[in-house]
Structure 1
Amino acid sequence: MKYKLFGKNTGLFASEIILGASMFGARKGYGASPEDAGKILAAYADAGGNFIDTADTYQLGESEELVGGFIEHQRSNFIISTKYTRSSKARPAISNSGNHRKAMRQGVEASLKRLKTDYIDIYMPHFDDGVTPFDEIIRGLEDLVSAGKILYTGLANFPSWKTAAIASQVHLAAIQLEYNLLQRTADRELMPMAAQFGLGTMMYSPLAGGLLTGKYRKGETGRMNLNQASDYHENETTTKIIDQLFIIAKELHVEPGQVALAWGLSKDGFPIVGARTIDHINAGLQAASIQLSPDHIIQLDQLSAVTLGYPHDLLATVQN
């Protein structure tokens, strides 16, 4: 496992692949058993991984509990990122969810207990609730840092303009966003903004719900089969991308999903590899050793590129 500095606002070295724990547990009806989650965590740690991402809502708190049980006697060896906003309840009371200080305080205290620790390395709202003022989020996170309950602050699934407004007022360390070959709209604003503010960028869904592995073409099952609301599906554009992954994978004697993850590793961020089985994490870890050629990256970049839109398209014409 390789390590690199997490953004420009910390001196923290993190493993280049983050282990995503959203599938640890099965309280929501689908996920890894406690035994399998333990095996995944052990395989990741044995490979040198030190960065685990979870959230209070993942498997209604069971994900944090399983991570907490694993790190309990080796806490200092791991960077733990978790999130609040949705809470661990299936149907939380209206006063117990959102980004306000009450939800933040309740969320961090409950996460600390489940994680069996007295501090969280990176803590962040799970998404912009559209209601809580910037200042309330800023003051709440700063208070948690001052109290020693969290070390670094971050934001997940926030618009770039709100992130920039908050980053200009608080020592923000991280953002978490969706980024893969089928979802690159973050290139318009979020990725450049993160670079400008020196934020460590945590990129979830690097395999687009498994679509980039090609497994659904083989009739295999996964989250997409069970989640009818998934935004990922094959169409004219995505088919060309997946076809190219198969071509490169055959050339390199690896799997298409590993090529997709290797592409993500070539970007300025940390892919979050979610795993439900030991095979999932082993395949993800092996991707770290794949060396894509510059031509491979260019081919995939061009096939997956998104239009940047206004004002970027206009500026490209007047700045050249």
Structure 2
Amino acid sequence: MRYTTFGRRTGLRVSEVSLGAGTFGTRARVGTEPDEVRRILDRFDDAGGTFIDTSESYQAGESEEILGELLTGRRDRFTLATKFSGGSGSDRGVAATGNSLKNMRRAVEDSLRRLRTDHIDLLWVHFPDGVTPMEEILRGFDDLARQGKILHGGLSNFPAWRSAHAVALAEARGLAPIIGVQFEYSLVERTAEREILPMAEALGLGGALWSPLGGGLLTGKYRTSGEGRLRDWGRIVHTEDSRQKTAVVDAVLTVAKETGVRPARVAVAWVRERAERSVTPLVPVIGPRTLAQLEEYLGALDVRLDAEQYRRLDEASGVPLGQPHAVIAEQVPFVLGGDASRFRTPAVPLA
């Protein structure tokens, strides 16, 4: 296991993969029993993993409760991130959901109690609620950071323009900074390359990449069975509903055969290598439901794709960047006087 700071705006150190705790517990019909969670956490710890990602809404709060119990006595070894926005129970009301200052404070107090800790290392806003002004979210982060209840704040599943706006507002007003963004990213979901990834790289934000296996599609298992998230959840999952997705799965299976490893390891290895090529730290969030699944994820840390294998996977999965990127690519040679090769791209993109 290797380590990095979470973005260029902080000294917060994290492991190169984050343990996603969305399945920890069984209140949401499908999940992992506490004894298996203990085995998963112990193995992640033994492997050198330090970054854990949960939410108040995961398993209706049970994920946080289980982690609170299992982290007792070793809490300081981990960077603990949790999220709020949707509440944590079936009795959720208007006052217990959304991103308001009132709900943020309520959520943090409840998460601290369930996690049995006095601070949260990274608090994510889980989703935009379409109502709360960014100024209110930033004030909440700043208040809680000054109280020592959270150390850092980040935005999950937000459009790039809103995240960039938040960074600028926090800087201009001297508030606690936004240090990271969280978004879906895998070989079957690369549209973040249009705006979110360039924004994160330019502004030095850490990136937490959820669903690196495309909800299980990239394991190849849905070609022979409906077992897994496709059957149990029926959401946050990809299917072979386009020629490109079929081509991507074909490419993953081919590379897996060439390298002699399971397809899941190839898919995670590609995301990991893509992260290494980024100018800002990107951390895949792995979501094992069993110890065996965790071993597959950890096994990906030892997989090295050669240049040709990476290229094939990259080409099969690439997405058109659309406007304005297409016209920019066309016009750059003209703007630079007809010879773009004379100009070297900066190692760190300009903000």
TM-score where L is the length of structure 1: 0.98
In structure 2, distance between residues paired with 1:140 and 1:223:
35
Matched position secondary structure for 1:128: coil
Aligned to 2:154: 154
2:219 equivalent to 1:213: yes
Amino acid at match of 1:297: Y
Q: How does 1:92-131 map to 2 (within 5 A)?
A: 92-131=92-131
* Structure 1 residue 231, shift from structure 2 partner: 5.0
**C-alpha deviations, 1:232-262, integer Å up to 9, x for none?**
1113111111111111111111011110000
In structure 2, distance between residues paired with 1:116 and 1:276:
23
Aligned length: 320
Larger Rg: 2
* Structure 1 residue 169, shift from structure 2 partner: 2.2
Q: How does 1:257-296 map to 2 (within 5 A)?
A: 257-268=264-275, 269-296=282-309
In structure 2, distance between residues paired with 1:114 and 1:12:
23
* Structure 1 residue 5, shift from structure 2 partner: 2.0
2:187 equivalent to 1:181: yes
**C-alpha deviations, 1:8-62, integer Å up to 9, x for none?**
0111221111100000001010000011111111110110000000000000000
Aligned to 1:75: 75
Partner of residue 311 from structure 1, selected from 324, 340, 351: 324
In structure 2, distance between residues paired with 1:81 and 1:47:
19
In structure 1, distance between residues paired with 2:71 and 2:130:
34
Amino acid at match of 1:267: R
Q: How does 1:45-56 map to 2 (within 5 A)?
A: 45-56=45-56
Moved more, 211-220 or 258-267: 211-220
Q: Is the 8 A contact 2:218 2:267 kept in 1?
A: yes
**C-alpha deviations, 1:159-216, integer Å up to 9, x for none?**
1111000011221111110001111110000000001111110000000111101112
Name structure 2 gaps, 5 residues minimum. Answer: 171-176, 276-281, 334-351
Q: Is the 8 A contact 2:128 2:157 kept in 1?
A: yes
In structure 1, distance between residues paired with 2:70 and 2:124:
22
**C-alpha deviations, 1:109-134, integer Å up to 9, x for none?**
00001111000000011001111001
* Structure 1 residue 70, shift from structure 2 partner: 1.4
Matched position secondary structure for 1:319: helix
Matched position secondary structure for 1:22: coil
Amino acid at match of 1:281: L
* Structure 1 residue 229, shift from structure 2 partner: 4.0
In structure 2, distance between residues paired with 1:5 and 1:220:
38
Aligned to 1:38: 38
In structure 2, distance between residues paired with 1:57 and 1:91:
12
Matched position secondary structure for 1:73: coil
Q: Is the 8 A contact 2:216 2:237 kept in 1?
A: no
In structure 1, distance between residues paired with 2:260 and 2:164:
42
* Structure 1 residue 105, shift from structure 2 partner: 0.4
TM-score where L is the length of structure 2: 0.89
* Structure 1 residue 230, shift from structure 2 partner: 4.5
**C-alpha deviations, 1:73-118, integer Å up to 9, x for none?**
1111000010000010124101110000011000000000111100
Amino acid at match of 1:70: L
Q: How does 1:225-236 map to 2 (within 5 A)?
A: 225-230=231-236, 232-234=238-240, 235-236=242-243
In structure 2, distance between residues paired with 1:157 and 1:130:
12
Give percent identity, aligned residues only. Answer: 43
In structure 1, distance between residues paired with 2:55 and 2:317:
29
In structure 2, distance between residues paired with 1:59 and 1:131:
25
Matched position secondary structure for 1:124: strand
Q: Is the 8 A contact 2:30 2:232 kept in 1?
A: no
Instruction: Give the RMSD, CA atoms, in angstroms.
Output: 1.1
Matched position secondary structure for 1:288: helix
* Structure 1 residue 267, shift from structure 2 partner: 2.1
Aligned to 2:85: 85
Aligned to 2:201: 195
